[in-house]
């Protein structure tokens, strides 16, 4: 192993690695990925085992505290999270400052960052108690704030959280419930929601998590750091891909037109890419995509949706792409976002909410990674270097001579 710091001190060399394709920026004990084998472990547990046997808050406890909770710890953790589910009433007023047609991710960037203007007793990053409260607040308030973003854009009244419901049920209630009618939980849909949250909970040093770590490395408060992660997640090459997949399936329109779009995806002169395909780390089937596909069938079956047009196109697209030389050679497999959009649409979410749901679920991963970084004695401010390609020093030219 080359000690880059020593090499730089001795030689003045440093590595040039745009996109960090082969540069580790930290050590971490949270999430392990073997991209060639399609393996994803959180604190040593396989994602399939967690998705099958745990609820989302158990996975949150695991990521944040290092271990799955025992029954007493689980009850305590649930009590702590539900204690924090409401947001400051003044924060609710923020929403009315946005246009009704604002993208909910734009709203989330603003309101999550604004938490630091309300919860001053959890912004001291050097106090372990405050760090813990900040983490609990973020996990607890994200569903409330996400549901409020949805309610605001559709013009319905905000719903207060119901702490007798599970995390996923409560989110569905705040999103789709109204004050005028009794709201009934559909266990298949809330289980699917919970699974979607688990599948998105953490994914080591992706673009948004690295953004959270970089912002946190300057000792910015945790709410500001998570807002920076939300901004990074929004892009279609990252968390925005689930929204982009549905738009692409719409654009393809029918199974007959798939070959045309596969051809376009392979054409280097065409900027079109098959959204939901490819991953920086997975060069095999994304293990989350397999679980997502099964969940998709369960939800559509429950809702009695037999001929979902997006699903038919998605399945055929997957079949064609996976047998195509280009996709095989470049190891482009469906990723987690490929099927999640179809499930979310069937559940009634507008496409603009898809990435918000991703942000909601990823918050626990972000804050766990942030906490790990702050608690690392070797932590330093993140400060990438550059290869300068501009002008060498040149004489100044006064305004009247330019």
Nearer to ligand ACO (CB atom), residue 19 or residue 71 = 19
- Residue 103 among the catalytic residues: no
| 337 annotated active-site | yes
**CA quadruple 179, 180, 181, 187: dihedral, nearest 10:** -30
Sheet with 31-34, side-by-side order of all strands: 31-34, 39-42, 45-46
- 230 bridge partner residues: none
| CA–CA dist 9, 5 (Å, integer) | 6
Nearer Cβ to ligand ACO (169/243): 243
**Nearest one of 219, 199, 227 to 287, comparing CA atoms:** 199
Q: Which is nearer to ligand ACO, 162 or 283 (CB)?
A: 283
Question: Does residue 345 touch ligand ACO according to CB under 6 A?
Answer: no
Q: Hunting for tokens 């990674």 — which residue is that?
A: 369
Between residues 87 and 289, which has the closer beta carbon with respect to ligand ACO?
289
Least separation in angstroms between CB 338 and ligand ACO: 7
String marking each residue 224-253 x if it binds ligand ACO according to CB under 6 A: -------------xxx-x------------
User: C-beta of 282: minimal distance to ligand ACO in Å?
Assistant: 8
Residue with smallest beta-carbon separation from ligand ACO? 278
Which residue stretch of 96-104, 157-165, 270-278, 312-320 sits at the interface with ligand ACO (rule: CB under 6 A)? 270-278
Smaller CB separation from ligand ACO, 153 or 335: 335
CB of 47 to ligand ACO, least distance (A): 13
* 155 dihedral zone (left: phi>0; alpha: psi -120 to 50; beta): left
Annotated catalytic residue, options 55, 202, 286, 337: 337
> How would you class 338 by CB atoms within 10 Å of its CB: exposed for 0-12, middle for 13-18, buried for 19 or more?
buried
Write out the two tokens for 212: 């959270």
- Contact with ligand ACO (CB under 6 A): which of 28, 122, 209, 335? 335
> What tokens were used for 311?
């699903």
- H and E: helices and strands count for the chain: 18, 3
Q: Residue 82 interacts with ligand ACO (CB under 6 A)?
A: no
Q: Does 276 bind ligand ACO (CB under 6 A)?
A: yes
Q: Both tokens of residue 175? A: 């999103």
Task: Give the whole-angstrom CA distance, residue 65 versus residue 42.
Answer: 12
Residue choice 38, 229, 278, 287 for contact with ligand ACO (CB under 6 A): 278
DSSP codes joined into one string, 14-43: ----GGGTT------SSEEEETTTTEEEET
What's the min distance (Å) between Cβ of 249 and ligand ACO?
Answer: 13
Range 180-209, binding ligand ACO (CB under 6 A): none
| Pair 369, 360: CB distance under 8 Å | no
Sole window of 31-39, 142-150, 273-281, 310-318 interacting with ligand ACO (rule: CB under 6 A): 273-281
Identified catalytic residue from 61, 103, 136, 279: 279
Separation of alpha carbons 381 and 70, rounded Å: 36
Residue selected from 46, 160, 330, 384 as contacting ligand ACO according to rule CB under 6 A: 330
Q: Which of 275, 299, 317, 373 binds ligand ACO (CB under 6 A)?
A: 275
Q: How far apart are CA 187 and CA 273, in angstroms?
A: 36
Provide the annotated active-site residues: 279, 337
């Amino acid at each position: 192993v080359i000690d880059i710091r020593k090499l730089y001190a001795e030689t003045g060399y440093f590595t040039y690695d745009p996109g960090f394709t082969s540069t580790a920026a930290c050590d971490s004990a949270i999430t392990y990925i073997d991209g060639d084998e399609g393996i994803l472990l959180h604190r040593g547990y396989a994602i399939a085992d967690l998705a099958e046997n745990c609820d989302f808050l158990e996975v949150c406890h695991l990521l944040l505290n290092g271990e799955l909770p025992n029954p007493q710890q689980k009850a305590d953790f649930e009590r702590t999270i539900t204690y924090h589910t409401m947001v400051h009433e003044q924060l609710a007023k923020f929403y009315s400052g946005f246009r009704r047609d604002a993208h909910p991710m734009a709203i989330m960037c603003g309101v999550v960052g604004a938490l630091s203007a309300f919860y001053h007793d959890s912004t001291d990053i050097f106090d372990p108690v405050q760090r813990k409260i900040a983490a609990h607040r973020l996990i607890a308030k994200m569903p409330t704030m996400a549901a409020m973003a949805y309610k605001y854009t559709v013009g319905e009244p905000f719903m207060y959280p119901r702490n007798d419901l599970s995390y996923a049920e409560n989110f569905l209630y705040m999103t789709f419930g109204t004050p005028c009618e009794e709201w009934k939980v559909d266990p298949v849909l809330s289980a699917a929601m919970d699974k979607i949250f688990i599948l998105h909970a953490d994914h080591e040093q992706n673009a948004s998590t690295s953004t959270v770590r970089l912002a946190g490395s300057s000792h910015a408060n945790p709410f500001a750091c998570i807002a920076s992660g939300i901004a990074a997640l929004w892009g279609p090459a990252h968390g925005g891909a689930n929204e982009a997949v549905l738009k692409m399936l719409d654009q393809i329109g029918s199974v007959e037109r798939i070959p045309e779009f596969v051809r376009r995806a392979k054409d280097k002169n065409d900027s079109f890419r098959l959204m939901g395909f490819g991953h920086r780390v997975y060069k095999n089937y994304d293990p989350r995509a397999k679980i997502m596909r099964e969940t998709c069938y369960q939800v559509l079956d429950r809702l009695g949706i037999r001929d979902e047009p997006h699903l038919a196109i998605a399945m055929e697209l997957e079949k064609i792409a996976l047998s195509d030389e280009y996709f095989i050679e470049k190891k482009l497999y469906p990723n987690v976002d490929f099927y999640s959009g179809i499930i979310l649409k069937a559940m009634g979410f507008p496409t603009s909410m898809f990435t918000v749901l991703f942000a909601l679920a990823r918050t626990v991963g972000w804050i766990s990674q942030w906490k790990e970084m702050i608690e690392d004695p070797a932590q330093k401010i993140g400060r990438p270097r550059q290869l300068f390609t501009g002008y060498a020093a040149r004489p100044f030219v006064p305004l009247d001579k330019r």
